[in-house]
């Protein structure tokens, strides 16, 4: 089993390139963000949590659907960009947190995990899933989107992450698979 990707690796990536995955410029990312926001179904959320917000591109789009939104990431350089991008949105707060150890306490009625949980090894993924389940209030939504093709750098595959989330037993309000990503919105029963 590959170990989880350490925080220092993300610091290194952002030091070399302020947008290492092209979140602000990639047509793939734009299409995936469109699908992610569409999966919210037009619902308004009182209190949202975004895990792994990076530079805040998706965060800005999620903010339009939340009364309050907490966006967290492990890389301070990414968070500095996110703070700048989101400065005009007073209902959005950005914080440095390492998941799962520092997953914020709920309750949240929306938790978004986009391209983040596959960086965790099996024990950390299990702890993160348990923490997310504890933080999501009944009637809330867990929206997960992850890269599907195999990589040599991530401890988990995107499909494996989504299988583990499905094992929570919550109904899937939205499910989509493309060759590149898996998207599921799991709705915790009220």
CA angle 7, 11, 13 (to 5 degrees): 115
Distance CA 62, CA 27 (A): 18
Distance CA 125, CA 162 (A): 11
Distance CA 109, CA 118 (A): 23
Distance CA 163, CA 112 (A): 16
E strand intervals along the chain? 45-51, 66-73, 92-96, 108-114, 136-147, 172-177, 181-187
Task: Write out the two tokens for 102.
Answer: 């520092």
Q: How long is the chain? A: 190
Q: Helices (H), strands (E): how many in the chain? A: 6, 7
Distance CA 165, CA 157 (A): 13
Distance CA 173, CA 41 (A): 9
Q: What is the pLDDT of residue 2?
A: 67
Distance CA 83, CA 78 (A): 9
Per-residue pLDDT of the chain (190 residues; tens, 9 = 90+): 567 888 888 989 899 999 999 999 999 999 999 999 999 999 999 999 999 999 999 999 999 999 999 999 999 999 999 999 999 999 999 999 999 999 999 999 999 999 999 999 999 999 999 999 999 999 999 999 999 998 878 899 999 999 999 999 999 999 999 999 999 999 999 9
The CATH architecture of the domain made up of 7-187 is 3-Layer(aba) Sandwich (3.40)
Query: What pTM was estimated for this model as a whole?
Result: 0.95
38 and 44 Cβ atoms separated by less than 8 Å: no
């Amino acid at each position: 089993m590959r170990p989880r990707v350490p925080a220092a690796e993300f610091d290194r990536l952002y030091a070399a390139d302020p947008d290492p995955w092209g979140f602000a410029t990639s047509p793939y990312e734009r299409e995936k963000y469109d699908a992610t926001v569409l999966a919210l179904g037009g619902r308004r959320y009182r209190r949202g949590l975004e895990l792994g917000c990076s530079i805040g591109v998706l965060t800005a789009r999620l903010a339009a659907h939340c009364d309050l939104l907490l966006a967290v990431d492990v890389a301070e350089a990414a968070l500095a960009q996110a703070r700048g991008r989101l400065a005009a949105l007073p209902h959005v707060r950005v914080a440095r947190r390492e998941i799962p150890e520092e997953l914020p306490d709920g309750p949240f009625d929306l938790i978004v995990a986009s391209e983040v949980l596959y960086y965790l090894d099996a024990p950390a993924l299990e702890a993160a899933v348990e923490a997310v389940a504890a933080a999501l209030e009944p009637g809330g939504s867990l929206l997960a989107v992850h890269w599907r093709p195999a990589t040599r750098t991530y401890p988990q595959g995107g499909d494996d992450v989504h299988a583990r989330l499905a094992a929570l037993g919550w109904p899937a309000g939205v499910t989509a698979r493309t060759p590149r990503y898996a998207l599921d919105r799991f709705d915790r029963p009220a």
